Chains A and B, each alone.
Chain A
């Protein structure tokens, strides 16, 4: 006896939406990266849920790959933030608008 797949997916969507809203609302780059992790985590839930639904390890493998990418992304993102901080002495993203039309 287990929960229906729909519940897992609802939870996954909710976490993803929290992450996305945070990503759009927050102003400093560090919070943005954290929200990004939250979004990825939401997606991972869906993968694991599907894996469980079909009793197939493929979803888990995908989870594995996603955390790999997440690790890379957070590492590079943090390096970029470091450089940005050196340049501007702040991590406010609205200061990075050199491409304004």
Chain B
């Protein structure tokens, strides 16, 4: 009971029982200890000498980055185009692959529970591995270049699009499905006329949202050799040309802002 009585016999209000209070205290204490332990591990692995002059390093870095060497921007149009292609083609390819996977993973459209768990496994493994790791793998397989980037983005997108889409499929209204099946429609026809029209808007929105994320992710894929503006970034950093790095940062910032705006506008127009 969260009510206790004072010594004078008057009831006092208390939010929690004593046991609950102790439990909360123990949980917070445990959390704090865990945090401090983790902090100790990090602190042991850190060279504090380097951290001490971080301010100097930071201001030094800033001085080298400013002013940006704007002439360099002319050389960046081609890498930028490659980056956009990686994001767009990768999203398209990923969405194409995610589409069937999502229908196999949704509880109401899957042909068999075993197929469902397989589809869920594809989604989870695609989601838990970062696109940079996919890119590293693919660079060793198909060689450095834009193709590796496209496939990496596609493989990463399967999980994201697949997960959101299968949740949308599971939330559809059952009445149209029943109505269409009552006309004697086959499984595929039910899919086409009852399920698909209900999830198509969600599907388009999810794809655009992922495209927007993919633009952001494709800017760094070049760091591991998978093409795009990341290659230029990597080259500039390796040659310590920080004034070029700042130009690249400005380009990335502008592209991401514009793509976010475009994706938000188109999504609003559709819904």
Q: Are A and B a genuine interacting pair, yes or no?
A: no
